[in-house]
Amino acid sequence: MAGSRKRSNGEGTIFWEERRRRWVAQLTLPDGERRKRTATTKKGAGQLLTQMAIDVEATGGVFDQSSRFGDLARLWREKVLDAQLMAPSTRAAKDWALRRLEDELSRVKLVHLNADRIEGALAAMAAEGLGRESLIKVRSTANQVCKFGERRDLLRRNPVSVVELPAGLKESTVGRSLTVEQAHLLLAASEAHRLDVLWKVMLLLGLRPGEATGLHWDGIDFENDVLHVRHGLRKVDGTFEVTDQLKTRNSRRSLDMPNPLVAALRCHREAQNSERLEAGGAWSKQWPGLVFTTVTGTPLDPSNLRRNFSYLTKSAGLGHWTPNELRHSCASILAASDVPLEHIGDVMGHDGTRMTWQVYRHVVTPSIGAAAGPMGEIFG
């Protein structure tokens, strides 16, 4: 039947379908898939086509009652996972969790997505051998995807908020932390160690290993005794890089330094200057400003760092420990000193549930002092 007209690319088409005796609105999605809706009148089909185009622009094509979790997952991957800045390890963990969700839920229609469906998917993963920690990560990613869908009106509500983990899972292994007495033993043993000040930074201020090894001297404010966490060091495919893409939004923070740490960093700066002079032309010019380096000015390799720290803890009679456990120890020691948990979270750079309040409070409080007093008293 006459009456349909040729439209430009991406605009879609309207045509009469004799078999069903209806007008058809057809739109080609960005991935090449064709979506159709029908109406009894040409005007109605035109209105449907316009609405389809609007929905595609807003959602990438996930827009009708037949949309499935797989559609939402692909959109979240495009708009969030592949588009936002995050550490490679974080991106890889989220991508893994998303693929596990797609394996179980891809064909589930969004209108049928509920807590029971998601709990069933988690139970299936548990039956395959996934442990509690892995399932928590999967549930967290599902929550992010569904919150995204809720914001874009693809879901009536986020069902993950009431999802429970499968029963009978083994409890997560509790992370270790040094006692105050053990911490004193460690620091006493590390006094002659070249990286003594690095261990102090991680223990007294709770920095992640990559945050500590990525510190720059322009981030150490000796005038105000404040340490600014602005960069991280990471090794990707055998290549070092300093990045400002930290683990979370709150990872970018400014911390008041305990007096013992200020003095230790001043001494470390003098020691590094001596090493630079001794190395001469062998000192690397590729990494200017790093606080902690090798004897030739290059970044510290994470595997060497773990090996050196384990050797140190064993020599102190403490057995095998890892650098990241210094961060756990910082949190535990502060908690034992009755520092409020929300203040410990600030020191650690954790994201909290009241993000807006935390962000604005940090604007008017330029540095976080929760660790300076207790750590100065304990290790002064």
Encode pLDDT of 76-118 as tens digits.
999 999 998 777 778 888 999 999 999 999 999 998 899 999 9
Burial of 220 (0-12, 13-18, 19+ CB in 10 A): buried
Cβ count within 10 A of residue 309: 25
Query: What SS3 state is found at 368?
Result: strand
Q: What is the pTM (predicted TM-score) of this model?
A: 0.58
* Distance in angstroms (rounded) separating the CA atoms of residues 107 and 70: 6
Q: Quick check: 26 and 13 in contact, CB under 8 A?
A: yes
The full set of domain ranges for the chain reads 13-59, 69-162, 180-379
Burial of 192 (0-12, 13-18, 19+ CB in 10 A): exposed
Helices (H), the chain: 42-59, 69-76, 88-105, 115-127, 132-151, 180-190, 196-205, 209-213, 259-279, 302-315, 324-336, 341-348, 355-364, 372-379
Domains 69-162 and 180-379 belong to one CATH topology: no
pLDDT of residue 59: 54
Q: Quick check: 328 and 176 in contact, CB under 8 A?
A: yes
Helix and strand tally (H, E) in the chain? Answer: 14, 8
Residue 373 structure tokens? 């007093």
Cβ count within 10 A of residue 181: 8
Of the candidates 341, 329, 356, 10, the one whose C-alpha atom is nearest the C-alpha of residue 175 is 329
pLDDT of residue 9: 43
Residue 248 DSSP symbol: S
pLDDT of residue 216: 96
Residue 196 structure tokens? 């003594």
**Nearest 10 degrees: CA dihedral of 125, 129, 135, 138?**
-50
Under-50 pLDDT residues of the chain = 1-9, 353-366
pLDDT of residue 353: 34
Distance of CA 203 to the CA centre of its chain: 22
pLDDT of residue 351: 62
Fold (CATH) for 69-162: DNA polymerase; domain 1 (1.10.150)
Residue 288 structure tokens? 């200017």
Cβ-proximal residues to 198 (8 Å cutoff; 6+ apart), any chain = 212, 213, 292, 300
The domain 180-379 having CATH identifier 3.40.50.150: the answer here is: no
pLDDT of residue 113: 93
pLDDT of residue 242: 86
> How do beta strands 239-243 and 232-236 pair?
antiparallel
* Distance in angstroms (rounded) separating the CA atoms of residues 151 and 153: 6
Residue 149 structure tokens? 């869908």
Whole-angstrom CA distances from 351 to 345, 354, 355 are 8, 9, 7
Cβ count within 10 A of residue 57: 11
Burial of 214 (0-12, 13-18, 19+ CB in 10 A): buried
